[in-house]
Amino acid sequence: MWPDERIARFVNEHFLPARVHPRETPDTFKQYGERYNAQWTPIVLELDSEGVEHFRIEGFLPADDFLAQLMLGWARVAFDAGEWAEAERRYREIVDRLPNTEAAAEALYWAGVAPYKASGNPASLKATGEAFSKRYQNSPWAKKASVWR
Amino acid sequence: MPIKFRQDVDHVLKDAKRQQKAVLLDFNAAPM
């Protein structure tokens, strides 16, 4: 997954990347494994500039799914910072660019939540609930959004 | 374009704070 050009570009553009290895850097692996409760490999954490975890990916994924998960985490960092417009933009980019990944349904859900958080207007929730009646109908996110229709 | 993973996590976190950048921390057992 890491050799994928799209993933490398995305990571280099948005993150300072660091790696810990259970055998080659055992002390660092133990230190940060305990700090972030990471008990397995591979685990990828997305941290904000203060070192606070916002998203984690556990286990191997094919490139498209992995990139979509990385993008979900990147959107989550904006969401958790209350940057609603930026969060919505990041979530919608997942739906547009990687619509066939499992992450896309989750992104569609949160892309509806972000503008609601910004405005308090439930129209985006209703629109999202209706969007789920046309796509990703079998995803758990469609069930969660069904209450908005 | 390879990803420029660093192993000095302490320094990466300090740099992230100074640069206001997010950090991607990879726990990985694959050969480095």
pLDDT in tens, chain A (149 residues): 678 999 999 999 999 999 999 999 999 999 999 999 998 999 999 999 999 999 999 999 999 999 999 999 999 999 999 999 999 999 999 999 999 999 999 999 999 999 999 999 999 999 999 999 999 999 999 999 999 99
Q: pLDDT band at residue B28, thresholds of 50, 70 and 90?
A: very high
The pTM of the full predicted model, rounded to 2 decimals, is 0.95
Residue A143 tokens read as 């069930």
Closest partner CB to A51 (pick from B8, B23, B26) = B23
Q: How confident is the model at residue B25, as a pLDDT?
A: 98
The CB-side HSE value for A66 (13 A sphere, CA atoms) comes to 21
Q: What ipTM does this complex have?
A: 0.96
- The residues near A145 (Cβ < 8 Å, ≥ 6 apart) are A108, A109, A112, A125, A128, A129, A131, A132
Please report the pLDDT score of residue A1 as a whole number: 63
Binned at pLDDT 50, 70 and 90, residue B31 comes out as: confident
Q: Find out whether A59 and A41 touch, Cβ atoms under 8 Å.
A: no
Torsion of CA A64, A41, A110, A148, to 10 degrees: 110
Strand partners, A47: A53, B23
Spell out which residues of chain A touch residue B13, defining contact as CB-CB under 8 Å. 47, 51
Chain A residue closest in CA terms to B2: A8
Complete edge-to-edge strand list for the sheet that includes strand B22-27: A15-20, B22-27, A43-47, A53-58
